[in-house]
Amino acid sequence: MKVENILLEVATYVEQKLSGEGSGHDWWHIVRVRNMTKKLALAEGGDSFICQLAALVHDLVDDKLVADEGLALAEVRDLLTRLGVRSDQTDQVLAIIQAISYKGGSQNHLDLTLEGQIVQDADRLDAMGAIGVARTMAYSGYHGRVIHDPEVAVRQNMTLEEYRSQQGTAITHFYEKLLCLKDLMNTKTAKDLAQGRHAFLEAFLAQFYAEWEGQA
C-alpha cells in the first residue's frame, strides 16, 4: 500500500476513535499535531512518514484516555501491520508514542530519535498559545476542576499519580505544565515557535489576574 493510502487509512481510524472526545485530546488536536509535525519534519530533516504516523496515533495509547495501555499498543501495532507498515517502522512509531507524553515531567529525561523529538515538540506546541489556553479550560471542565482558586497552591516535584490526580485548578495547570514547555522543546524550529506561544500564555495570565482582581 502506498504511503499516502496508509496515512489516509490511519487517519480515518483515528478520527473514528477520537471524534467527540471532550477533554482536548480530540480528532482536531490530532489534525493540528500532524500539521505541525509535517512542518517540523520538513524544517529539521525528519522522516515525514514516521512522524505523521506517530502524530496520528499518539493519543490512542495515552493513559489519560485508555484503561489498558498494553492493549492499546497492541491494537496500534495490529493496525499498522495490517496496513503493511514495515515492522521496523512500526517499532519506531510505537517507541515514539510511548516516550513523548509529558506525564508531569517524569519522562523529560528520555532520549528520543529526531522523529520522536519532532512529534513531541508538535504535541507540546499544541498545549501552548491560544490553543493551549482553550485546551486547558476544556480539560479542566471535563474533569470538574475549577478555573481558579487563590488558595490552591501550584504543585511541584509530583509523582505521575499526583500529576494525574484531579487536584489543582485550570490556572495551576499553567504553572505545572504549560509554562514549562518552552524550555523543553527539542528542535530549533519548535524552540522558535514556542517563544510566541509562551508569551501569549504570560499575557493571558496577566490579563486574567487583572480581571480577577477587578483591575481591568
Q: Report pTM.
A: 0.92
103-117 pLDDT tens trace:
645 556 678 999 999
32-88 pLDDT tens trace:
999 999 999 999 999 999 999 999 999 999 888 888 989 999 999 999 999 999 999
User: What proportions of the chain, in percent to the nearest 5, are helix, strand and coil?
Assistant: 70, 0, 30
With CA atoms as reference, report the closest residue to 59 among 149, 120, 134, 105: 120
Structural domains of the chain ordered from first start: 3-212 (1.10.3210.50)
Kindly tell me if the per-residue pLDDT of 165 is higher than 80. no
Residues 6+ positions from 131 with CB-CB distance below 8 Å:
32
C-alpha to C-alpha distance for 115 and 51, rounded to whole angstroms: 6
